[in-house]
Structure formats: structure tokens, C-alpha cells
Structure 1
Amino acid sequence: MEFIWVLCAFICGLSMRIINMPPLIGFLIAGFFLNYLGVEPSASLGTLANVGITLMLFCIGLKLHVRDLLKPEVWVSALSHKVLWSLVVASCTLFLVALNLPYFSDLDFTTALVIAFALSFSSTVCVMKLFEDAGEMKTRHGQIALGVLVMQDIVAVVFLVFATGKIPTLWAILLFGLLFLKPFLANLLTRVGHGEMLPLAGLFFAFGGYELFYLVGVKGDLGALIMGILLASHSKASELNKALMNFKDIFLIGFFLSIGFTALPTLNMLGISVILSVFLIFKFCLFFLIFTRLRLRGRTAFLTALSMSNYSEFGLIVTALSVDNGWLSKEWLVILALSVSISFVVTSLLYKNAHKLYLQHKTKIKHYESTDCLDEDNLAQPKGIRILVIGLGRVGRGAFEVLHQTLNQQVAGMDADKIRIQKMTNNGDNVFFGDGEDADFWEKMDTSNIELVLLALPTIEDSSSVTLQLRKSGYTGKIAAIARYQDERNELLSSGIDNVFNFYTEAGTGFAEESLQLIGLSNAVDKKPSSVYR
């Protein structure tokens, strides 16, 4: 990556971060700014973008289970939205043709349908980045959005086959044999350990899957996704995902920069892009109505639809193929690149305040709920608990197990990851599924007997949001949370949290105390509370 790219990406990303906006908006701006300056993109930028997308799809696969794709709220919503959207937007495009707007005069219903189809996809890169930053990948709405995006990728593969005429070779049938290799791949992942071999193994699986599918004429990115799915049930899947996270994020910067290098727009192109961006309102409404008709709760439907209300980088691929085939003029590639960029900005800004927006319009949103929601959305809650641990990752689960040894069933754990909850339930643990940022959940839950809530969540934004929901629901007990850095302390305390625990510092203290017991000096350590993080 050339230094000028790094410099512009850093300055623009940092600028957005300072004003509390998602850095990806800055990366998009950096791409257009570099293009305006006349900087020529080299082939390495495209390589970086492709590597980022491949790693991202592999990481998505690590968090996905095939049975989730078979749920009606996933495949029915994905396919029905694509059909309805394409027909309605194509018809609206013909209306714009009748108005004789620039670049529309040469369109007919077929080419209008191609444009509508290109805009029907939602961006996997944008949506997953939003969920990762918000720590919502394993939530109900996060998993549904993930499933819909995968279904859209499957449709994309089918489209590429017909549009390019490249039919997979007969050898593609052998790809089904990967199912029989699953035990071997799992054993391979087990043997790599936890050091530098772990991220290297992730790169091997991701790019190996890509190349394998590409060699037999199938979209290589789908191979990375499938390889991730095959390893999703492995005990080290989460650790592998974390090991690849920084690699993926760095490479994806190349993707956001590359959008800006597509072409320089004119004012007319920018105006058409703004008009197409207005259709995002319809995209949200259509997703929301379909989700609620499929009996999803209003909040789940709202958050999922909001995250999916953007245009996809795949739309640029569809448009580029259409330009090569002579269906569309090359100006449409620039117009759609601008539309994709605008949609990223809009979604990033809106989803940043998604939970606040839901609270403001909760009554109207719940009006569209079905009277009989899906069984999976009926939340079961234990009774008679004194301590609740929210977030059952490594830190949260450790706290839960220690407390459970003393208080038994008076301690309960809660997590938004259903797979994790199912595994712990099978082990006899007193845990249940729940999303701490769900205002409806806390309204229905009786917290009068809970004396202490421990928040072991991935981000301080999550902890602050859950604390707000708890206090609004009438909870009057104590709340403790974890932090990694000292500058997070004031923000957590100001949100109403009673105690902030630095698990890096305190883990060292605990390690020293337990080790001293080996030589009979268990009382030698000063056990006064740390004043820095309390």
C-alpha cells in the first residue's frame, strides 16, 4: 500500500473518528479525494480490496450455521425483497425516463430492470462492519441480516454464471466432497495451536477455499465463505476470527478507497445518484414490512431493515458487466459508485443511532408486529436470581462460573449468542438468551429481586446502552462493568455504572494472589480496592 493512500486514509478516518462518525466514511472520502488529485490507483489496491473481501467472507462463515439459512425469515425475505424491489424500482426508473432526465433517455424496461437488480443487493462489507463495531454480530437481528446477505451472495453467483456465460466445470461437483473433509480440516485447526500459526491457518483456509472454487469456475469468494461455514462449529472458530480481525480491517480499507477511484463524477451524475439514494427509504420500508409479515418482532425487523438499507459493491460488478455487454453506458458505473458511497454514509450515520431511533418510535414500530411472533423470539427468563451476568464470553463466563460455585442457581447468565446459550444450557448452566440493548426485553423482565448486574460486554457503548435500558426499566440495584483502558472509565461511570473493573490490571492482581497461596503467603498482598478504576 503506497504511503499517499495510508496518509489520506489516516487523516480522513481520524477526522471522522474525532467527530464521532464511523471511520469508513472517511475512507470513502479519501478515495474520491485521491482520485480528484489525479493519483492513479495501482493494481495492488485492487488486490488489497479483494483480500479484504475474501477474509471478511471467511470470517462471516465462521459465525454462520447452515440451518440459519433455511429459516423462512431468511430465505423468503431475501428472495421476495429482491423480486419486489426489482419490479417496483424498474417501474420508477421508467417514470424517470419519461421525465427525460440525463442518462435515462436510452433506457428501456430491460436495462431499467438491470439497474434495479444492481441496486437490490445490500453491502456485505458495510453491514458486517457496522455489526462488528457495535458488537452485534451474534444478536438476533445480526444473524438474520447475515443470513439474508449470504442468500444474496448465492443469487449473485447464479447471476454471474448467466451474465458471463462461464458455466462451472464438471469438477465443481467434487466441491460437495468438502463435507467429508470437515473432520480433517477441524483436526488441522486444532493442531495449529494459539500462536502465529493460527492467523496463518486462517489465511490458508480462506485463500485455499477461494482458489479451489475459482479453479472449477465458481465465484472464489463463495469458496472462502463455505470454508468458514465448515469450521463454524469448531471450538476455536471465535479465536480464529479474532486473530484475523485486524488483518481483515486493514485490507478492507483498500476496498473503501477503491470505490472512490471508480471515476470522477459530474454534477449531473451526482444529482442522479442522490435521486437513486432516495430509493433507500423504500428499501428500508420493504424489508421492514416483509420481516414483520414473517412474524419477526418489531425491534428485530426495524434494526435488520435499517442495517440492510444500503447499496452493495456487487451492484458495481453488475453494472460493469452490463457496460461491457453494451447494455448500459459507462456513465452508469460512475453513478452507481456514487450511489453506493452515499448509501454507506447514510447507513453508517443512521445505524449509529439505531437503538435511540427505535426507542423514539417504538409505539409506531410495534404497531406493525404480528400478534403471534415466532417461537424463537419468545424470551424465557429465570426467576429467583440475585446476580445476573450479561455477556458470556471469556471474561463473563469466568465470572459466572466463580459466582455459581458460591450462589448456585441464584446466579444467572445472559447472552445474545444463541449457539453459546444452547451449549451452556446443555451443560446444565443457569443461562438464557437475551439482548441487553432490547428495551422490550427489560420492560417484560422482573428485575426487582436482582441485586447486582455484571456487564461483561465487548464495547463500552454496549455497557452504557444496557445500563440506560436497565435504569429506564426501574432497576435500582448495583451495576458493575469491565473496561480495557483508563480513558473508558469516565464514560462508563457517567452512564450510571457503580463499579468499573480493569480486567487487564486486576487479572494480574488475581494471578499474584493465587500464586502466593502456593508458598503460604495468601494474606501478604494488599487487597484494598484499586482506586484507579472505581
Structure 2
Amino acid sequence: MSIDLVLMLSAAAAGGLLAHAVRLPPMVGFLLAGFALAGLGVEGTPALEALADLGVVLLLFAIGLKFDIRVLVRREVLGVSLAHALMSIVLVLTLLTVAGAVGVGLLADVGGADLVLVALALSFSSTVVAVKVLEEQNATRSLPGRTTIGILVVQDLVAVAVLAVVEGEGPRWWAPLLLVLVPASWPVRRMLARLDHGELLTLVGVALALVPGYALFDAAGLKGDLGALAIGVLLAPSPRAEEVAKSVFSVKELLLVAFFLSVGLHGAPDVSGIALAVALVALVPVKAALFALLLGACGFRVRTASRAAVSLASFSEFALIVVVAAAAAGAVDPEWLVVVSTAVALSFVVASVTSAVVDPVSSAASRRVPDPRGLHPEERPVDLRRADALVLGMGRLGRAASSRLIEGYGLRVTGVDSDAARAGDLTAEGLHVVEGDATDPLFWARVRDEGTVRLVLLAMPFHGSNLAALEELQRSGFGGSVTAVTRYDEEVAQLVERAAVVGLYDAAGAELADRAVRTADPGVS
């Protein structure tokens, strides 16, 4: 192993520990470690770049495994993406033009086409930072999380076109043949369903992200990262999709350390370059405010719009790719790479710090700012005042448990599921099911309950989701009976530690419902 790589990873660990000690997100420490190493004359290595690229590939693959492609056509995704891109380009162009007029460094003699290219590059948001922020908030499946990821996907699609124009190369003639991956994904899903838990599932997930994902799309003249995302989307219907995403999580987290290090290692600009980078970073709050206003116009509450806006505020790592390609083609001065990389890195720091305070600040603001007149369907109040029991997760198990509670015990049951299509189908069948993410504090802020709910079933397939929902229940002051489904012994211990859990059962839905009723308060038994 290269000594330089060992030094870099050691510096990253030290930076992460320092950031943790002062209660900052670890990624801030990784970025600062990169800057410190660059200041000492250390340069990035091919091994570090390869690790960084692999981390981004796995990140996008994991996103795809949880992504519903239908989100892309929604007004809050497609409309907001395009409107915000135009506004951002105008803002950055205005700033750069004014700076050029007063003779700031690189802008003194720069052409209009160069400015447009840089402004376009900076209009994109960082996929890595946005998803990291959402994962830290356990919000990837919430309304702001799904909207954020949808906007990032639209930006990625636009990025493919921009890169093709800058490099002067379009997709290969055979790129349409990639559509064969759609039917090819069907047997792969069946194969995943037959795999055991453990390292083989992780290895297969990584291989799928790299080979039919990154490598094949890259060979076709498309972004390899986009290919990893596409493979994840194709495998999302698999019942093992969440488990695959969970299995690659630790690998992806470790590799992303290399990504943040590599951003910092691009080096520092001169004084005028630093001034320009800081001026660009000053646009980050404006960028976030524009997202918040546009999402508010789509019916988002202040808290929801703010969470999505902050996660989208930072500049994109893709800006570096565009500037590198433009510099290689002679379209912009190579010094722009250092300026843009500094602005991107600083925007990461700003976004990371801001994400830690967005919830309390937006909560305070929401008490003063009225809700939009036409609330988004997923922002409307959730009425539980006529429910005796609540089932969180309406998959096969949750549905069977709900039917048992209704038919066997005469309880009024409300189901909650984050899958809009499933919620709609079950509602059409006569069940009372609302769409929502039970792990998200924003969902519980919408709940209207007068104490009628005395029994809750946690029937989501992902253990982490059940734990997060249980914590939200406890924060809300719920004092009834909570029964959770579990598959592994180690999960039982974690659930038993939560005082609200009085019944655990790993069985069919009807038996789970029977167990829940037997352990519930007398008022519902």
C-alpha cells in the first residue's frame, strides 16, 4: 500500500475526530484534512481517486435501490429543477459579471461563453452532500428526501448533456441497446431473492453497481455514475433491495472519505481566487432560499421546504468535472479549477454545518409563516382521531395484521406506508391507509390524535426504520402498547431496550396482531 495513501487516510481520521470533538459533521473534518495536506504539498494519488469514484458509484447505486422513477415527472421535481437552474445561472452570471467589471483576477478578460459555462456548472447541487445530509437525518424516504433525490436525478440527466457538449462527444451509437437492461433485471431480482445474508450479498451488490452500472454506461459514452443509479432503480422492486442497500452502506461510507479528501486536495487559489471563491459561496444561502421559495409554491410547508433546500444548497462535485473538461478543451483558464474546487469545498462545509440547525430554525420559522393555501397532498394533516390501532408498514405482514385487527377484534385501524402506489391500492381495497414516512419527524408533526390510538404495530421490513419510528413515537409522548416485528436476535435486544415495546413476535401477520392485542392495554383488548 502507498505510504501517501496511508498518510491521507490517517489525516482524514484525525480531521474527522477533530470535527466530531467540536460537534461538526465528520465530512467537514475530511475536507479540512484535504486542505491541510494540499497546503503541505501533498497531491492526490490515482488510488485515492479510484476509491473516491467507487464511493460515489455505490452512493448512487444505493439511492437507486430506494428511488421511485415516477417522482421525476412531479411538479416539485421537474418544474423546480428547471426553474431553479435558470435562476441560479442568472445569479452566478450577475456576480461574475460584476466581479469582472472591477477587474477581479480571472474575470478581467474572460469571455461571455466561459462565464455561462462556469455559471451552469455551479447551478448543480452536490449529490454526495445532499444524500449524506438526508441519511444523517434518516430522511431519504421522506417527502423532502424523495424530492431532493428526484431533483438530483434531473440535474444528473442535464449534466450528461452538458458534458457531451463540452467534450464534443455524444453517446455511442449503441447506447440505446442499454434498454435491454430492463428485462435483464428481472432474473437478477430473482437471483437476489435467493441469496443468503452476509458478504455474498454485499459483493454482488458492488459488482452490479460497477459492471452493468458504471462500466457499461461509461463505455456507452454516458456518465458511469448515472449507470449505477439506473441499475439501482431497476433492482428497486426486489424484496431484497433494502437489504442490498444496507449491506453496501458501510463500504460506501468508508469510500466516501476518499471523495471528500480528494476535493480538498485540489489545492488553494491565490488571494484574488480565494476572494472569488468566497463570493461564490455567498450565493449558497441564496441558492437555498430559491429552492425553499419554489418548493413552497408547490405546497410544501416551511419545515419540509427548508430541509430539502438545505440539502440541495451546496455546489456539485460535477462542477469540477465540467471545469476540468472545459480547461482540457481550452474553453476556460485552468486556474478556474482551483477556484471552483475551493468554492465547492467551502459550500460543502456551509451545507454540513447548516444541516445541523435546519430543523430547530425552520420549526421556529414555521410558527410565524403560514402554511401555503394549497398544501401538497403529503403535507396535509394526518387524522388519527378515529383510529384504535396504527400499523406502520403495510407490506405483506402489515396488511395481514391490519385485516386481523379489523376482522378479529373490531378495531379501527389506520395503516401508514411510504409507498404511494401501495397506499393507493390498499385504500381502493377498503383499508384506511395514508402515505407517509413513519421515521420522519415531519410526518408526526402532521398527525392529529386525541388519544384514541392505544396500539401500534411496527411492521416495516427494515429494522432501522422500526427503531426510528419507535423513537418518534416516544418523542410524541405515546403511552400505549407497541409491538414490533423482528427477524434477528440482536434486533430483539435493541427493541427491548425501548420501554414502550411490550411485545415482540416473528410470525405471520395474524399471529403478530394476536400478540399485539394480548399485550395491549385493557382498553383495546
Q: What secondary structure is seen at the aligned counterpart in 2 of 1:432?
A: strand
Q: Which residue of 1 aligns with 2:118?
A: 115
**Paired position in structure 2 for 1:272:** 276
Structure 1, residues 280-314: CA drift from partner, whole Å, max 9, x if none? 12211211222222333333222211211110100
Aligned to 2:328: 324
Does 1:202 pair with 2:205? Answer: yes
Cα distance in 2 between the residues matched to 1:403 and 1:4: 59
Contact residue 298 and residue 365 of structure 1 kept, 8 A: yes
Relative to 1, partners in 2 of residues 1:444 and 1:136: Cα closer, same or farther, differing over 3 Å?
A: closer
Per-residue CA deviation, residues 464-522 of structure 1 (Å, 9 max, x unaligned), is 66655x35xxx7x4587999899999xx99xxxx8266x9xx97xx79xxxxxxxxxxx
Distance 2:391 2:355 in 1: 26
Over 3 Å counting, the alpha-carbon distance change for 1:409 and 1:446 in structure 2 is same
Preserved contact between residue 144 and residue 307 of structure 2 (Cα < 8 Å):
yes
Deviation at 1:442, TM superposition (A): 3.8
- Verify: 1:239 aligned to 2:232, yes or no: no
2:137 maps to a residue whose letter is A
Measured in 1, the distance between the counterparts of 2:347 and 2:404 equals: 46
How do 1:50-199 and structure 2 match up within 5 A?
50-199=53-202
Task: Flag the 1:485–1:340 CA change in 2: closer, same or farther, 3 A.
Answer: farther
Match of 2:387 in 1: 385
Amino acid at match of 2:343: S
AA in 1 matched with 2:387:
I
User: Which residue of the partner structure matches residue 516 of structure 2?
Assistant: none
Contact 1:457 1:463 in 2 (8 A): no
- Distance in 1 of aligned mates of 2:245 and 2:235: 11
Shift of 1:435: 4.7
* Residue 337 of structure 1 pairs with residue 341 of structure 2: yes
Work out whether residues 122 and 312 of structure 1, in 8 Å CA contact, stay in contact via their aligned partners in 2: yes
TM-score by length of 1: 0.82
CA distance in 2, matches of 1:269, 1:287: 27
Would you say the 8 A contact 1:390–1:414 is kept in 2?
Answer: yes
What secondary structure is seen at the aligned counterpart in 1 of 2:411?
helix
SS at match of 2:108: coil
- 2:305 is aligned to 301
Q: How much does 1:200 deviate?
A: 1.6
Counterpart of 1:361 in 2: which secondary structure? helix
| Conservation of the 8 A alpha-carbon contact between 1:381 and 1:432 | no
Give the 3 Å change call, closer, same or farther, for CA 328–210 of structure 1 in structure 2: same
Indicate the residue corresponding to 1:17 in structure 2: 20
1:499 alignment partner in structure 2: 499
Distance in 2 (CA, whole Å) between partners of 1:420 and 1:14 is: 43
Match in the other structure for 2:51: 48
Residue 356 of structure 2 is matched in structure 1 by 352
* Structure 2 residue aligned with 1:372: 374
Matched AA of 1:117: L
> CA distance change for structure 1 residues 409 and 37 in 2, over 3 Å: closer, same or farther?
farther
In 1, the alpha carbon distance for the partners of 2:285 and 2:41 equals 34
Distance of 2:264 and 2:376 partners within structure 1: 42
Determine if contact 2:405/2:411 at 8 Å carries over to the other structure.
Answer: no
Q: Structure 2: any 5+ residue segments left out of the alignment?
A: 507-518, 520-525
Matched-pair contact (CA < 8 Å) for 2:303–2:363: no
Greater alpha carbon shift after TM alignment, 323-332 vs 371-380:
371-380
- Cα distance between partner residues in 2 of 1:481 and 1:333: 55
1:76 deviates by 1.2
2:53 counterpart letter in structure 1? N
Q: Which amino acid aligns with 1:196?
A: E
Report if the CA contact (8 A) 2:387-2:453 is conserved.
Answer: yes
One-letter amino acid of the counterpart of residue 15, structure 1: L
Quote how far apart the aligned CAs of 1:161 are. 1.0
Would you say the 8 A contact 1:134–1:462 is kept in 2?
no
Do 1:288 and 1:301's aligned partners in 2 also have CA atoms closer than 8 Å?
Answer: yes
Residues 142, 437 of structure 2: 8 Å contact kept: yes
2:387 and 2:414 in contact (8 A); partners too: yes
Measured in 2, the distance between the counterparts of 1:486 and 1:180 equals 39
Describe the shift of the 1:211–1:423 C-alpha distance in structure 2 as closer, same or farther (beyond 3 A). farther
Q: Which residue of 1 aligns with 2:434?
A: 432
Offset at residue 322 of structure 1 (A): 2.2
Pair 1:376–1:34, CA change in 2 (3 A): same
Checking the alignment, whether the CA contact within 8 Å between 1:87 and 1:113 is kept in structure 2 is: no
Distance in 2, matches of 1:105 and 1:321, equals 22
Aligned residues: CA RMSD = 3.6
1:111 offset after TM fit, Å? 1.8
1:392 and 1:346 map into 2 onto residues whose CA distance is 38
Match of 1:530 in 2: none
> Which residue does 2:289 correspond to in 1?
285
Whole-angstrom CA distance in 1 between matches of 2:216 and 2:446: 50
CA contact (8 A) 2:388 2:411 kept: no
**Structure-1 residue corresponding to 2:33:** 30
Distance 1:357 1:401 in 2: 41
Question: Can you list the C-alpha shifts for 1:317-346, whole angstroms capped at 9, x where unaligned?
Answer: 111122223332222211111111111111
Count residues with an aligned counterpart.
495
Within-5 A mapping of 1:426-465: 431-435=433-437, 437-438=440-441, 442=445, 445-451=448-454, 458=465
Q: Which runs of 5+ in 1 are unaligned?
A: 512-526, 528-534
Tell me what 1:532 maps to: none
Per-residue CA deviation, residues 440-475 of structure 1 (Å, 9 max, x unaligned), is 85466123323466788649887666655x35xxx7
Checking the alignment, whether the CA contact within 8 Å between 2:441 and 2:472 is kept in structure 1 is no
Task: Report the equivalent of 1:519.
Answer: none
- Give the Cα–Cα distance (whole angstroms) in 2 for the partners of residues 428 and 80 of structure 1: 39
Q: Deviations over 1:384-437 (max 9, x none)?
A: 334445577999999989988985634544354546655776887654333555
Contact 1:140 1:416 in 2 (8 A): no
Q: Tell me the residue number matched to 1:516.
A: none
